Chain A
């Protein structure tokens, strides 16, 4: 018979980021439905109310359209004290021009947030961070937050233990939500984990203090996505928040040379005020991001959730944390906590994200080719521009781009949508038209209503 959680069982959670907090939240909610009394300890040494690296989880800070909707159904509504800016549109910026893509409902359904207290040079803290908000929800649900770093892990019979230097506690289940930027994996090895670690690459994130008025004037409530012909750069985004802009670069070996080339590119320069210069000393980091899942995300009484197991490639990492955290909590309460239970009930959700990432790689490989071939890039722009200027028209390219940038749909769906003969026909026709017209007006504004937002 497998191991199960019973009245009085203890659950330890290492890490109080979104995966850890949401796991504790759902575990306790499901347990209540089953009249099961559990004790849940979340180990989180960081104080998410503090600005700077000490309270930060190093992330772009976008809560996707699909996650906002699912959280609302769960009864979790993000308040304006946490959301720094509601996002209602995207601006695709390329060497050949910009195009704005509006949400069909004209509604703010994407949230730009800070994960912690904000950049280290934030003066007055006008907003709370997402991680602190979710940790508080877990606490309200009954979890105990221990502001301690886990120093070691081991076993007491068949139960895992966690030590914090002065004390060691045994648990009936251990949820590991340490991300990929801590030494959590060594701890797993001491517990006997023999899995392939997640593969990682380095991102670059910086926070630019432009001020609320200037951000509203130049970026509005549009997330700006950049498709630039720069080798090693898969995608880049500028996310408008309250008083800061968050700049995220994703790709292979993002170094100083690539960062400088990005800020000096014409497509980026034209988004900012004329006299703006990237200053030195802005809060920045180069966090590792998970680009390939850990092979084995569980063993008896231990489960990996969030980034330390699997996440969605480049987009909607918080959404992937929600999905893995909830699937693990569901398994633990309704099925059991043995490796066999996790194999049967948790693995499908984990594998779905990992498999979808294969389509993500394929999609980004195609995007790289399009970026390098001018007429194809012009084809993307003119097809999107046409769709956006004709309300009610078939918005095939707009929807593909929207879902890709927002992380709202699985990569698989996006990939197969691009194989539709009607999509391909229109795209090739627009590209051929651009080639025939010798469309070379580099930097031209072709945005529909993008105005200064471009």
Chain B
């Protein structure tokens, strides 16, 4: 890892967080890319791609449910872990801190809506 690199380096295909695990932290990609995977009935489905600056793992922090998907490094990826407790403490002092997360979640719901609408379109 570079001298001034922050976070932790994950190798290609290494799991950063696993589906079903307890969510006591969230993550921000500092460099590289990662894939969001969901396993349903033994089948692995890629449900998203992440790159530098993307936040993930925040859903389990807010809804206190096990992680809904796994995230796996694509190539070498560097990821910073954010502690749930310090994040929650700061959000209660400064609620505007949650705005960035809210904005990202909103974009994600928008793209899910679009995907759903495409799936439900009658085939010509």
- In the complex, what residues of B have CB within 8 A of residue A127's CB? 4
- In the complex, what residues of A have CB within 8 A of residue B52's CB? 77
Enumerate A49-96 residues with CB–CB distance to B below 8 Å.
Answer: 66, 68-70, 72-75, 77-86
Q: Is A111 an interface residue (CB 8 A)?
A: yes
Closest CB of chain A to B3's CB: distance in Å?
Answer: 5
Interface size of B by CB at 8 A reads 27
CB <8 Å contact, B80 and A109: yes
CB <8 Å contact, B80 and A107: yes
CB <8 Å contact, B3 and A212: yes
Most A CB within 10 A of own CB, among B4, B5, B80: B4
Q: Is B8 an interface residue (CB 8 A)?
A: yes
Partner of B8, one of A72, A108, A352: A108
Q: Is B7 an interface residue (CB 8 A)?
A: yes
Enumerate A20-53 residues with CB–CB distance to B below 8 Å.
Answer: 30, 33
Interface size of A by CB at 8 A reads 36
- In the complex, what residues of A have CB within 8 A of residue B97's CB? 70, 73-74
CB <8 Å contact, B82 and A78: no
Contact with A along B84-109 (1 / 0, CB 8 A): 00110010011011011100000000
Q: Is B83 an interface residue (CB 8 A)?
A: yes
Partner of A30, one of B4, B90, B96: B96
Of all chain B residues, which has the CB nearest A333? B96
Contacts A30-B96, A77-B28, A109-B80; A69 near B87 (Cβ below 8 A) = yes
Contacts A66-B86, A69-B83, A70-B90; A330 near B7 (Cβ below 8 A) = no
Q: Is B76 an interface residue (CB 8 A)?
A: no
CB <8 Å contact, A242 and B82: no
Contacts A30-B96, A72-B82, A105-B81; A86 near B5 (Cβ below 8 A) = yes
Enumerate A329-388 residues with CB–CB distance to B below 8 Å.
Answer: 330, 349, 352
CA A33 to CA B100, docked complex, whole Å: 11
CB <8 Å contact, A78 and B6: yes
CB <8 Å contact, A68 and B80: yes
CA A326 to CA B101, docked complex, whole Å: 17
Q: Is B70 an interface residue (CB 8 A)?
A: no
Q: Is B44 an interface residue (CB 8 A)?
A: no
CB <8 Å contact, B83 and A81: no
- In the complex, what residues of A have CB within 8 A of residue B53's CB? 75, 77
- In the complex, what residues of A have CB within 8 A of residue B101's CB? 73
Q: Is B40 an interface residue (CB 8 A)?
A: no
Q: Which residues in B have some Cβ–Cβ distance to A below 8 Å?
A: 1-8, 28, 30, 52-53, 55, 80-83, 86-87, 90, 93-94, 96-97, 99-101
Q: Which residues in A have some Cβ–Cβ distance to B below 8 Å?
A: 30, 33, 66, 68-70, 72-75, 77-86, 105-109, 111, 127, 212, 242, 323, 326-327, 330, 349, 352, 408
| Known pairs A70-B90, A73-B55, A80-B5 / 17 extra A-B pairs, C-beta < 8 Å | A68-B80, A73-B101, A80-B2, A80-B6, A83-B6, A84-B4, A86-B3, A86-B4, A86-B6, A86-B7, A107-B7, A107-B8, A108-B1, A108-B6, A111-B4, A212-B3, A242-B3
